[in-house]
Amino acid sequence: MKTLLFFVCLFSATLAQPDIPRGTILASEYVITRSVATINQIIGSFYPPEQALPALYPVDEYRLTFHSEDEAGAPLAIIAQLFVPRVAQPVEFPVLVVGAGTTGLADDCAPSREQPEVHSLGNYRAFVLGFAAQGWIVILPDYAGYNDPDRVQAYYVAELAARVMTDAARAAYDAFAASHVDVRNAAMPLNRLFLGGYSQGGQAVFAAKDRWADAAPDLPLAGIVAWAPIVDMANHTLYMPPFAPYRMVVWSAYYGSDQVPLAELFADRWLPTLEADALQLCVNEAVIYFSADPETLFRPKFLQALRSGTLDRDFPALHRLLELNSPGNVPSHVPALIVQGTDDNRIPMPVHDGFLRRTCAAGNRVTTLVYEDATHAATRRISYRDVLNWMQSVINGETPPNNCP
C-alpha cells in the first residue's frame, strides 16, 4: 500500500528534466473497437430508455500516457482513456475532456482500472461511450497521483485537478497530430473543446476554467458542463462525511499536518487506522465503512464549526485551504452548464444556489438544468440528451441561456 511520504518532497527542487510540453503523449496503446450493437447494449444499461440514443458510430478505445507537471515542475505521467468515433471518410468531431467523480485514492480505484461488470465506481465507460457514439472524441484522464508508486491521488487539490484537465485536452489533440490514432480511422478533432465533470470532476472543470486564460489560451475551450459539481469544500465535508477522510488525509500530507490536524477533526475511534483506511478503500467501500453521521465521524468542535460557519475563527488554516480549493471565482467568457437534482443530499439546493450566486457575481455566465427529485448520482443519466443539445447549441454559435440571479 502507498504511503504519503512523497508529499514531503513535493515542493522541493526537481532534477533536470527534458523540456517536454505538457500534454505530450508518452505512450499509447490501442485497446478495442466496439461495434454499434455493443455500444447500444452498454449504454442501455446506464442511461434510462427515455434518454438513451442509438449509437451513430462504432468507437475505438486507446490507453494513453501523457506528460503533466506538478506545481513544482516535477513530471507526472497521467494515464487516460481516449474514445474516438470510427469513420471511413474524414470527419471532424468536437472534443470532450471528462473528469470523473470520486472513486478512491488507491491505484486500483482509478477510473482507468474500473471494471463495472465486477464492481462499479461510477460506470464511466458507459457514460463516456454515450458521447463518443454520438460523434464526440472523449478523453477520460486519471487524476494526478494515480498509477505512481511515489504518490497518491491529489484529491480535491484544485491546481493539480486543473492541470490534469488542461493537459488531457492537449493530449487529445496531440493523439491525432502525432499519429497515435489508427490511420484507418479518418476521424479528426474539431476546433471546439468542452470540459465535463461529475461531482469531484465538477471541481476539476471549474478549476480549469478559472485558469484557462493563463494556462491554455491556445486551446479552443467552448464551454464546460458540470454534473452535480462539488465546488464548495466546506459544505461537501459536512454533507458527505464518508469522503472527508480522503480529503483530510491527503491534505494533511500535502499542505502539512499543522494546516490540517487530523486529530482535531476526527473522533478518536477513527484515528488509529484513518490513513491506512483512506488509502486503500475504493468509494464503494468507503461509503459503507466511514460513518455517514457527522456526529459519529467528526469531533464536536469541528462539526460545530462546519455547521455554524465559524471555520475561519476555529480552524483558520483549514478554512483557508477549503476556500482555496473551492473554484468558480474567476470571471470568464466561457459558458458553463450546471446539472443539478433537487434531491441531491450531497449538494442540497441551498448549497447549489449559493455557488450559483458566487460564480455569477464573479462575472460568469451559467445555464442551469435542475431536475425535480433527482439524486446526485442520477444527474448524469437523466440529463444526457439535454447536455448534448446544450453543447451542440454552443458549437452552432448560439448564446446559451443565462440563469444567473
Residue-level pLDDT at 4: 60
Among the residue ranges 117-121, 132-136, 224-228, 380-384, the one predicted with the least confidence is 117-121
Residue-level pLDDT at 140: 98
Residue-level pLDDT at 235: 97
Please, what is the angle between helix 200-215 and helix 158-177, to 10°? 70
The per-residue pLDDT for range 163-178, each reduced to its tens digit, is 999 999 999 999 999 8
- Looking at the predicted structure, is the pLDDT value of residue 6 above 50? no
Domain range list for the chain: 5-232+326-395, 233-324
Over the chain, what is the mean pLDDT? 94
Among the residue ranges 6-10, 117-121, 269-273, the one predicted with the least confidence is 6-10
- Looking at the predicted structure, is the pLDDT value of residue 195 above 80? yes
- What SS3 state is found at 24? coil
Q: How far apart are CA 185 and CA 323, in angstroms?
A: 45
- What SS3 state is found at 230? coil
CA atoms within 13 A on the CB side of 105: 31
Q: How far is CA 299 from CA 261, 288, 295, 319, in A?
A: 12, 20, 7, 16
- Looking at the predicted structure, is the pLDDT value of residue 13 above 90? no
Amino acid identity, residue 93? F
Residue-level pLDDT at 1: 61
Nearest to 261 by CA among 316, 324, 203: 316
Q: What is the mean pLDDT of residues 233-247?
A: 98
When the candidates are 3.40.1350, 2.60.40, 2.30.30, 1.10.260, the CATH number that belongs to 233-324 is 1.10.260
366-382: burial string, b at 16+ Cβ within 10 Å, e else: bbbbbbeebbbbbbbbb
Q: How confident is the model at residue 116 (pLDDT cuts 50, 70, 90)?
A: confident
Length of the chain equals: 405
The per-residue pLDDT for range 19-71, each reduced to its tens digit, is 899 999 999 999 999 999 999 999 999 999 999 999 999 999 999 999 999 99
Q: What is the mean pLDDT of residues 222-226?
A: 98
Q: How far apart are CA 146 and CA 290, in angstroms?
A: 22
Give a three-class secondary structure readout of 276-318.
HHHHHCEHHHHHHHCCCCHHHHECHHHHHHHHHCCHHHHCHHH
Residue-level pLDDT at 120: 86
Share above pLDDT 90 across residues of the chain, in percent, rounded to a whole number: 91
Residue 81 pairs in a beta bridge with 63, 140
Residue 337, phi then psi, degrees to nearest 5: -120, 125
Residue 273: which H helix or E strand, with range?
none
- Looking at the predicted structure, is the pLDDT value of residue 389 above 90? yes
Residue-level pLDDT at 298: 98
Q: How far apart are CA 212 and CA 26, in angstroms?
A: 23
198-207: burial string, b at 16+ Cβ within 10 Å, e else: bbbbbbbbbb
Residue-level pLDDT at 119: 79
Q: What is the mean pLDDT of residues 376-396?
A: 98
- CATH code, 5-232+326-395: 3.40.50.1820
